[in-house]
Amino acid sequence: MDIENLDMEWKESWADKYLKTIAAFYNTKGGRMIIGRKDNGEYVGVQDVKGTTKTISDTIRNKFHFISETRAENIDGKDCIIIDVPEGDTIVDYDGRFYFRVGNTTQQLEGIPLKRILLDEMGLQWLDQPCKVDPEDISEDAFRFFMKKGKEAKRIPDDVPEDDMMLALRTMGLFRDDELSLTAALLFTKNPDKYEYGAFLKIGLFDSNDCLMRDDMLDRIPLVLLPDECMRVLNDKYIQPTYRYDTGTASRELDYLYPMDAIRELVVNAIVHKDYSMRQEVAVYVYEDKLMVYSSGLLPEGVTLENLMGSHPSVKRNKRLAEAFYAMRYIEGWGQGIKKVLSACKENGNPEPEFSYMSNGLLVTLRPKAYRDIELDNVKILLDSTDHIIISVMAANPFISITGISSESNLSIKTVRYHIDKLRKNNIISREGGKRGGKWIVNIGPLQR
C-alpha cells in the first residue's frame, strides 16, 4: 500500500497554499503530489481537471521559475492531477520562506540550518562568512606567531607582508566582502568564542565513575595558538611523563603513557575539521585507562569510520582554516593525519586508536601503551599499564610516598593502593622500613615495553 512520505503527498483539492509543499519537494529530493485523493487514500477526483491542471502548471512556473510535469490522469475511474516535481539544483523560497521535506511533513527551515544551506548555494563554507571584527580584539602576538611559523615552513610566500596585518590577511584570502572572514576572527582574535560560540577547547580529568575531578577551559586563545597551549596543559597537569627505570644503566628515561605526537595530531585535526556551526567546543577527556578527543560534526561525504584509517579523500570542511594550519606545517594536505596517529601509536607501544560517533561528532579514543607480561619465579604475571607506571615511579624515587605516587602518576590514591597491594602480593615490589623513612624495593629487572 502506498503512503504519504518524504516524496509523496495527497490533496483532496488544489489550493495555492500547497505551493510550499511543491517548493519543499524541489528543495529536498523531488517528489509527487496527487490532487483528487483524500488523506485516507480514497480517490475522489477533480471537477475541472483540464483547467486546474493548466492553472497549477502556470503557477509553479511563474512562482518558482522551474517546470514541473503536471498532467491529468484517470485513477480508479476518477480524474486526478499528478504533479511530479524534480529535485532542484538550487533552492527556492515561497513568499520569502524556505521549506523542506522531513519525513512526510513540510517544514520551514530557518536559523543555522538555513544559513548553512544558503552559504553552500553561494559556494561558501560556514567560516567564510564576513565578520565585523573589532581591531582591538586582534592579537598581534598570534599574527606574528603565525607568520613566523609559515615563513620558517616556507609555506607563506616571501612577498606576503609581515608588517601589514590586514594586507597579509587579504593576500591569504581571509577577507569576505571587505570584512575579515569568520576564519580570520577565530585564528587571530584574543577571544574567538566572542565571534563564534564553541571556538575553544576544554580538558577534563574523570574517574572510573565519570565524575569530573579537574578541568581546564582554554577559551580565550586564538586558534593558531590553541594546539600548543592544549599540549602544554596536558603535559603539565594531566598526562605527565613518568620515568622508565633500567637497572642496566644509571640513567632514567621519560616514559609517555600516550604518544604525544598522536595526541597533538588529533587535537589539531579536531580544531581544523570540526563543524563550527554546531557551536560545540573541542573536548579532551582523560581517564585512568583512556584518553579521548571529541570534535563536533560527522565525517564528510566519502569518508567513513571504516576507511578512515586507510586511504581516504582529504575533504576540508573548513578550507581556509585548514590552509592556515597547513601554512604553519601543523597539518598536511593529503589526508595523512590518521596515518601519523597510527604510526605514533605503534612506535610508542599503544594499541590502534578507536573511532566512533558521539552526539553528532567524532570521538577518537587512545588506550595506554601495552606492556609485555613479566615472568617471575617461572610464573607469568599479567601487568597492566598502571602497574608499570607505579613501578617506574618507585624505581625513580624509592622513598616516594603513596600520596607522591598519586601526584606523580595522575592516579587516584585509591587506585595506587589497589595496584600496590597487587604488586606486593606477587612479590614484584616490597617495602623496606616503615611508613616514614622506609623505601620501595622493585624486585624485577628492567621494565620491558
Q: Give the CA distances from residue 295 to residues 60, 96, 284, 290, in Å, rounded to whole numbers and listed in that order.
A: 43, 34, 9, 17
Determine contact, residues 440/431, Cβ cutoff 8 Å. yes
**How many angstroms separate the CA atoms of 287 and 420, rounded?**
19
pLDDT band with cut points at 50, 70 and 90 for residue 250: very low
Lowest mean pLDDT among 194-203, 289-298, 361-370, 371-380: 371-380
Ranges 48-62, 127-141, 240-254, 334-348: which has the least confidence: 240-254
User: pTM to 2 decimals?
Assistant: 0.68
Judged against a pLDDT cut of 90, whether residue 437 lies above it is answered with: no
**Quick one: pLDDT at residue 14?**
96
Q: In which order are the strands placed within the sheet that holds 69-75?
A: 8-11, 31-35, 78-85, 69-75
Ranked by mean pLDDT, the top range of 75-79, 233-237, 405-409, 421-425 is 75-79
pLDDT digits 0-9 by tens, 355-374: 999 988 999 999 987 654 55
* Mean pLDDT of all residues in 256-273: 94
pLDDT tens, residue by residue, 106-159: 999 887 777 777 777 767 788 889 999 998 999 999 999 999 999 999 999 888
pLDDT of residue 426: 85
Lowest-confidence segment of 46-55, 295-304, 326-335, 382-391 by average pLDDT: 382-391
Q: Domains in the chain, ordered, with CATH?
A: 8-109 (3.30.950.30), 374-442 (1.10.10.10)
pLDDT at 257: 82
Range ranked top by mean pLDDT from 111-115, 184-188, 252-256, 332-336: 184-188
CA contacts within 13 A on the Cβ side of 420: 19
Most confident segment among 49-63, 246-260, 304-318: 49-63
Round the average pLDDT of the chain to a whole number and report it.
Answer: 87
- Could you tell me the sign of the dihedral formed by the alpha carbons of 230, 392, 417, 400, in that order? negative
Q: What pLDDT shows up at residue 260?
A: 94
* CA 371 to chain CA centroid, nearest Å: 30
Tell me how far apart the alpha carbons of residues 288 and 227 are, in angstroms, rounded to a whole number: 23
Write out the three cell numbers for 400. 616516594
pLDDT of residue 443: 81
Task: Decide: helix, strand or coil at residue 426.
Answer: coil
